[in-house]
Amino acid sequence: MESIEHRTVEVNGIKMHVAEKGEGAVVLFLHGFPELWYSWRHQILALSSLGYRAVAPDLRGYGDTEAPSTVNSYTCFHLVGDIIALIDSLGVDKVFLVAHDWGAIIGWYLCLFRPDRIKAYVCLSVPFRPFLGRNPKQKTVDFFHSLYGDDYYICRFQMEAEMAGVDTAYLMKNILTTRKTGPPTFPKGEYGTGFNPVTPDTLPSWISQEDLDYYVTKFNKTGFSGGLNYYRNLNLNWELTAPWTGAGIVDVPVKFITGGVDLVYTSPGMKEYIHNGGFKKDVPTLEEVVVQEGVAHFNNQEAAEDVSNHIYDFIKKF
């Protein structure tokens, strides 16, 4: 990874760390939770070799990017504002957007608020409607309840302490290697086995000890509050985006890629939404849905070459 360049840019009132390589049209990669720019290491190398400028930031609150201390500094407007400022700093009007997990949610907001800055969008794992355009008051409670059990209102603000009680290396290995389907759940009152009740003794072939060590080093330094604060703003995001209620994505070409055993894809109602017309109704510009059989949530790492090929095959048309 020595050939990937790193720099810090001022965006939207914070300092953001950016990794990049290559020249040409910009492909902007947004990571999820609990990840870093590093999650796109394979795609950065692949797309830069194909004539693109691959750019991947550590998002607000992650890695070497600044992490504001207040919870309400992580609304969708802050997150989108960061990315628009980053695009401005790159000296381009539009980018190809590729995003995964929480990055995918930011990607949908970008396509909704600023479609003028996005040439095309390759979305991984999280489709449009589940987090946007509907009242999440009850949905958010249900989501956190699935994570933290009956003590949702307490654990919502104690999750950092519970995660801090677990070795970061185990925690990251536990999350990144999970193949448990359906919504992620934690045992009530403790992290326990977390996302993955069968954490393997050895790492799968698609992630090395060196890769895991990179994540561990960064999260040992920053903790997880920044990433958790994204979830804590789901209700506020709905309130702030009331003017867009019912709006869909109509101006940006979209390709969606998910693993067949992804924990989002296998959550109740998700396959029906994706395949039975709901997704296409909300995103009329959806051109293709790809399901990678046997692949789990972190498909940009587990099936890196396949994801890179799918990205290239889509964006080369524009």
Instruction: Tell me the average pLDDT across 41-58.
Output: 98
Residue of 152, 170, 214, 231 with catalytic role: 231
Q: Which amino acid is at 124?
A: L
Nearest CA-CA partner of 58 in 45, 41, 42: 41
pLDDT of 199 reads 83
Nearest CA-CA partner of 159 in 171, 170, 169, 174: 171
pLDDT band of residue 151 (cuts 50, 70, 90) is very low
142 a catalytic residue: no
**Topology adopted by domain 5-316:** Rossmann fold (3.40.50)
The C-alpha angle with vertex 311 and arms to 307 and 314, in degrees rounded to 5, equals 140
Residue of 58, 82, 101, 282 with catalytic role: 101
Nearest CA-CA partner of 127 in 294, 268, 265: 265
Q: Which residues contact 57 (CB under 8 A, 6 or more apart)?
A: 16, 17, 18, 19, 30, 37, 65, 82, 83, 86
6 a catalytic residue: no
Instruction: Say if residues 233 and 78 touch (Cβ distance below 8 Å).
Output: no
pLDDT of 149 reads 42
Residue of 100, 297, 310, 312 with catalytic role: 297
Q: Dihedrals φ, ψ of 298, to 5°?
A: -90, 60
In angstroms, rounded to a whole number, what is the distance separating the alpha carbons of residues 95 and 57?
A: 14
Instruction: Tell me the average pLDDT across 16-34.
Output: 98
Instruction: Say if residues 26 and 53 touch (Cβ distance below 8 Å).
Output: yes
In angstroms, rounded to a whole number, what is the distance separating the alpha carbons of residues 302 and 31?
A: 14
Q: Could you read off the pLDDT of 74-112 as tens digits, one per residue?
A: 999 999 999 999 999 999 999 999 999 999 999 999 999
- Per-residue pLDDT for 139 more than 50? no
In angstroms, rounded to a whole number, what is the distance separating the alpha carbons of residues 93 and 100?
A: 22
Structure tokens at 100: 């995964």
What does the domain layout of the chain look like in residue ranges?
A: 5-316
Element (H, E) at 300: helix 299-302
Q: Could you read off the pLDDT of 185-236 as tens digits, one per residue?
A: 655 555 555 667 778 889 999 999 999 999 999 999 999 999 989 988 888 8
- Alpha-helical (H) ranges within 71-191 are 76-89, 102-113, 137-148, 152-155, 159-164, 168-176
Q: Could you read off the pLDDT of 164-185 as tens digits, one per residue?
A: 778 899 889 989 999 988 876 6
Q: Could you read off the pLDDT of 235-279 as tens digits, one per residue?
A: 888 889 888 888 899 999 999 999 999 999 998 889 999 999 999
Model confidence pTM above 0.95: no
Structure tokens at 287: 């051109």
Q: How many residues does the chain have?
A: 318
231 a catalytic residue: yes
